[in-house]
Amino acid sequence: MVWGYTKRIYRLNPESSREDALEQNTLDVLQSVPLDSMRRFLLRAHRFADAYRHGLDGAQAVWTARKYKGHRVLPPEFRKEMEDAGIRRGGNVNAGL
């Protein structure tokens, strides 16, 4: 996620074919990523890792990551809430939100 963020910012720089300018632009962009953004990216990755560790598929992981934003790990009752919301394996990501 950090890499995607930096690529987006990097594209805002003027194009150059000089290697020293390209290197300096890269270093500047990498230095400009806010620490708060890096922390948010890390927490999001942790939420997805925890969802996959519980055996969820991609759509279910997206749903749980959106639903439990304030949680570091999934709460014990997440499967019941997912079932109540109609989220099934390969199911609709937008259901229940």
With helix as H, strand as E and coil as C, how does 25-36 read? HHHHHHHHCCHH
User: Exposure string (b/e) for 17-26, b if CB count within 10 Å is 16 or more?
Assistant: eeeeeeeebe
Please name the residue that has the structure tokens 């598929």: 57
Of all residues in the chain, the percent with pLDDT exceeding 90 is 27
- Asked whether residue 39 falls in the same domain as residue 85, the answer is yes
Q: Is the pTM of this model over 0.85?
A: no
Range of the domain at 56: 34-97
Are residues 38 and 27 located together in one domain of the fold?
no
Alpha carbons 32 and 19: distance in angstroms, whole number: 20
**What are the pLDDT digits (tens) for 30-53?**
999 999 999 999 988 888 888 898
Tell me: do 26 and 58 sit in the same domain: no
Show the low-confidence residues of the chain (pLDDT under 50): 93-97
The pLDDT value given to residue 95: 45
Show the DSSP H helices in 1-97 as ranges: 2-10, 19-32, 35-53, 58-67, 78-84
Q: For the chain, what is the domain count? A: 2
- Same domain, yes or no: 19 and 46: no
Instruction: Determine the pLDDT at residue 97.
Output: 44
